[in-house]
Amino acid sequence: MNTPSYPHPIIAREGWPFIAGSVVIALLVSFWSFGWSIPLWIVVIFVVQFFRDPPRQGSTAANAVLSPADGRIVVIAEVDDPYAERRALKISVFMNVFNVHSNRSPVDGTVKKVTYFPGKFFNAALDKASLENERNAMIIETTQGHTVTAVQVAGLVAKRILCYAKVGQTLGRGERYGFIRFGSRVDVYLPLGARPRVSIGDRVSATTTVLAELPDEHA
């Protein structure tokens, strides 16, 4: 399955109200004093860069698992997947406020379950954030029959998780399915036997970076 055409080029739709509001405020202050408006124009630049959402192309290999987010790898470990109730390989991507924050499907497949969990707002780089922070878990069954769980996790200042995927929906790898505002993390749980293609500390880009390769046989 090929990456679908990108629906919201360059700037994420979630950012339009924030960008418009910050520009209006900066313009109003500019009419009064350009000097006092300079910090506000810096805020405008920050808001625009935060909500940038460029189109991406990634691997079309059938067993490739693509990064669901931009950021830094903070976890690669065999753990319990509490959402699909199994042992799994977990790979976590931590996003800071300067990363692109749209989330994209790591694999081709059908959404089997979407569950929202209220929680706390610890620093998303911490391990405990995976199970204690506000989060949204999506379980996907790939076209090869593998189960892949993608979990959007709120961070210290992230206050809104957006997930547009619905049960029964078919997602293509790299397809945009959600957004997290202002610093966060995405955990990906893969079947045991998946082979990581990243290391702790690596910088990754949504869709363009291959996180792992799924086993050749359904596990």
pTM of the model: 0.82
Among this protein's residues, is 59 annotated catalytic?
no
Task: Exactly one of 92, 105, 130, 184 is catalytic; name it.
Answer: 184
Q: Read off φ and ψ for residue 16, nearest 5 degrees.
A: -55, -45
Name the nearest CA neighbour of 112 among 80, 76, 85, 92.
85
Across the 219 residues of the chain, what is the mean pLDDT of every consecutive 10-residue run?
49 76 86 83 80 80 92 94 95 86 91 88 67 88 94 75 91 89 85 94 92 79
Give the 3-state secondary structure percentages of the chain, helix then strand then coil, rounded to 5.
20, 40, 45
CA-derived radius of gyration, the chain: 18
pLDDT for position 120: 72
